[in-house]
Structure 1
Amino acid sequence: MLVLALNLAITLAEIVGGLISGSLALISDGLHNASDGVAIVIAWIAMKLQAAPRTDRHTFGLGRAQLIAAVINAGTLVAVSIWLFFEAGQRLLSPEPVSGGVMIAVAAIGLVANTLGTFLLREGSENNLNLRAAYLHLLSDAVSSLAVIVGAVAIVLWNVTWVDPVLTFAIGAWVLWESLRILWRAVDQILLAAPEGLALADVRAAILGTEGVVAVHHTHLWQATEGDIHFEAHIVVPDQMLTDIDVLRARIAEALHEKFEITHPTLQFEAESTDCTTANLT
């Protein structure tokens, strides 16, 4: 709630300050801050949903709500970036007077508040894609506030008003790049792609290297939520007692967790003498 309150205060200050000073960069920074407020609210709602218990209908719980939130957050920032590019282009073609002094004062307030908000969200953003989206919102705001201050100093010293739309282009490009990265990663998880940096071929090889395993097929690897990696496979073994298979299952599950941080392995064992209809699927 402290982060949200800081964000709302910055948004009002920068938009009003931008209108008074005539600075598009300051207004763009304020609008970016407004989208941050929305991002923080969405992130909070998604975290509440993630804590909801599993039900017979939502058997995995509602943890993947954070992916929807990340897509909404990043998509909003993409739209804001496109608008900034358009407005900056208009300003370059038709320059307007800008008050550098007001820009410096308001942007300095934004820099302090955004930096504080960034520190408040930093710890939880490392292992949560949705919180990372909100964290990057605030981090990019802090960077853009710093850029606005530098540009405002140039306007005060040399009256180079073209710096304002150029800064707006730079802020928009930074926001767009970070947003597309989050969007791509969230879409990957929605499409049940294998986790970044984890190769399915390596997982197969590890299983095949386990004593007592003849073959492995029908493998799937995906990430349900942050830190919750799922894997399923059919594993072919020689005919043996069920108790022996259970020992092998436990050994494979432990290896998958230690080597690949797989938290939810589902292993179907098949006798070497049987024919599986999905044996041709890797």
Structure 2
Amino acid sequence: MPHDHHGHDHGHHHHGPPADGNFSQAFTWGIALNLLFVTGEVAGGLWANSSALLSDAGHNLSDVLSLALAWGASLLAKRRATERYTYGYKGATIQAALLNAALLYLALGFILWDTIDHLRNPAPVNGPVVMGLAGLGILVNGFTAWLFRSGQKGDVNVRGAYLHMLTDMLVSVGVVVGGALVYFTGWLWLDPAISFVILTVVGVSSWSLLRETVQLGLQAAPESIDVSAVRRFLLARPGVSSVHDLHIWPLSTSDTALTAHLVRPSGENGNLFLRDLQHDLLHEFNISHCTVQLEDELPLMGTHGCCDQAHVA
């Protein structure tokens, strides 16, 4: 006789760091500080005629938008499920992550265009202003990165905020060095050249986040979960002879769901088996929502399930 078990024991969700809650204050501080800093960088970049400062300000502005979107999505994800949105609004965090990735690379395109123009038409740069503002950026971005450090391993939104701020801090170090070189050497081409380096660093460092958010949007199994290991784990459970229709997908950037059919001819103690399985899936793989159907023999439909997924013994 088949059994359905829905592993929705929210008491265990502390294994995945929340995208809000403890990070609400971090989002508030991060947005406020970076918004003030962007305003100062734009003013200083125009005054000092520095494309490096303007490019850094453009990226910092995209970070402000990114933090705001991530925070808004995490607040939306806390809303209760409805009859239509049966999983709630957790998927908003994935949509926000995808939008943030698109906005980031759009901003990089505009900054690249401006940098090419400055390289063609170099102009004098106010070195002390560049170094002073970039030095302030090291403090602002470093502090903001520190706010998100504790949650960056469990949620792609929090990790994105952490990596963006950490990257910005390192970029600001590069701007300080570039401003000093221009000031002491007079080589005007160094400023847009450093801007190119900034664009490259940001683009490369953000690529993994872009790839991961696209995968989440396509409902691919999270990179942190080895699907083959999960299959082996299920096959090793007492009495299980085969596994089919195994699906693992993200409900949000921090919650993962699983459905599977387990062929278990000796179906005694089914409830105890399911309870232990739910507990172990959460602690071994951080899968917080599981639906498992137990079967005492292969289903009549044969070797193909709901998505034509082949039966694996």
**C-alpha distance 210-172 of structure 1, shift in aligned 2 (>3 A):** same
Given residue 181 of structure 2, which amino acid in structure 1 is its aligned partner?
A
Alignment of 1:7 onto 2:34: yes
Aligned residue for 1:213, secondary structure, equals coil
Return the structure number with greater relative CO, CA threshold 8 A, min gap 6. 2
Aligned with 2:188 (options 149, 152, 161): 161
- CA shift for structure 1 position 120: 2.1
Is the Cα contact below 8 Å between 1:221 and 1:229 reproduced in 2?
A: yes
- Cα distance change on mapping 1:13 and 1:267 into 2, 3 Å: same
Shift of 1:49: 0.6
Aligned counterpart in structure 1 of residue 106 of structure 2, from 79, 85, 88: 79
Amino acid at match of 1:125: Q
Task: Give the corresponding residue for 1:277.
Answer: 301
Give the corresponding residue for 1:267.
292
User: Is 1:16 aligned with 2:40?
Assistant: no
- Could you say what secondary structure the match of 2:251 adopts? strand
Q: TM-score if structure 2 supplies the norm length? A: 0.82
1:233 maps onto 2:257 in alignment: no
Kept in 2: contact 1:144–1:171 (CA 8 A): yes
Aligned residue type for 1:30: A
Equivalence for 1:181: 208
Are the structure 2 counterparts of residues 15 and 217 from structure 1 closer, same or farther at C-alpha, using a change threshold of 3 Å? same
Structure-2 separation of matches of 1:37 and 1:197: 27
Contact 1:103/1:152, CA 8 A, preserved across alignment:
yes
How many Å apart are 1:240 and its aligned residue?
Answer: 4.8
Task: Sort the Cα spacing of 1:188 and 1:52 in 2 relative to 1 into closer, same or farther, 3 A.
Answer: same
Q: Distance in 2 between matches of 1:210 and 1:196?
A: 24
Cα distance change of structure 1 residues 240 and 11 upon mapping to structure 2, 3 Å threshold? closer
1:135 corresponding residue in structure 2? 162
CA distance in 1, matches of 2:73, 2:290: 26
Name the stretch that deviates more: 200-209 or 182-191.
200-209
CA displacement 1:82-118 (0-9 Å, x = unmatched): 2222222232232222121221122222222222222
CA distance in 2, matches of 1:173, 1:89: 14
Q: Report the Cα distance in structure 2 between the residues aligned to 1:136 and 1:177, rounded to whole angstroms.
A: 12
Q: How many residues align?
A: 279
Aligned pair in 2 of structure 1 residues 37, 239: CA closer, same or farther (>3 Å)? Answer: closer
2:60 matches 1:33: yes
After the TM superposition, which segments of 4 or more aligned residues of structure 1 sit over 6 Å from their partners? none
Deviation at 1:168, TM superposition (A): 0.6
RMSD between aligned alpha carbons? 2.0
**Distance (Å, rounded) in 1 between the aligned partners of 2:95 and 2:218:** 12
| Partner Cα distance (1:142, 1:123) in 2 | 18
TM-score by length of 1: 0.90
Shift of the alpha carbon at 1:149? Answer: 0.6
Q: How does 1:205-224 map to 2 (within 5 A)?
A: 205-224=232-251
Q: Per the alignment, do residues 82 and 207 of structure 1 end up closer, same or farther by CA in structure 2, a change over 3 Å counting?
A: same
SS at match of 1:225: coil
Q: Deviations over 1:211-233 (max 9, x none)?
A: 31222211111222244222111
The sequence identity of aligned pairs, in percent, is 33
User: Would the aligned equivalents of 1:24 and 1:165 in 2 still touch at CA under 8 Å?
Assistant: yes
Helix, strand or coil at the partner of 1:112: helix
1:97 match: 124
Look up the equivalent residue of 1:26 and give its one-letter code: L
What amino acid maps onto 2:275 in structure 1? A
Is 1:195 matched up with 2:219? no
- Judged with a 3 Å threshold, the aligned counterparts in structure 2 of structure 1 residues 115 and 210 are, in CA distance, closer, same or farther, namely closer
Q: 1:159 to 1:181 in 2, by over 3 A?
A: same
Q: Which residue of 2 aligns with 1:46?
A: 73
Q: Which amino acid aligns with 2:303?
A: A
Which shifted more, 14-23 or 218-227? 218-227
Quote the offset at 1:199 in angstroms. 2.5
Gaps of 5+ in 2: 1-27, 305-309
1:52, 1:62 within 8 Å by CA — same for their partners in 2? yes
Q: Deviations over 1:147-178 (max 9, x none)?
A: 11100110111111111111111111122123
**What letter is aligned with 1:106?**
L
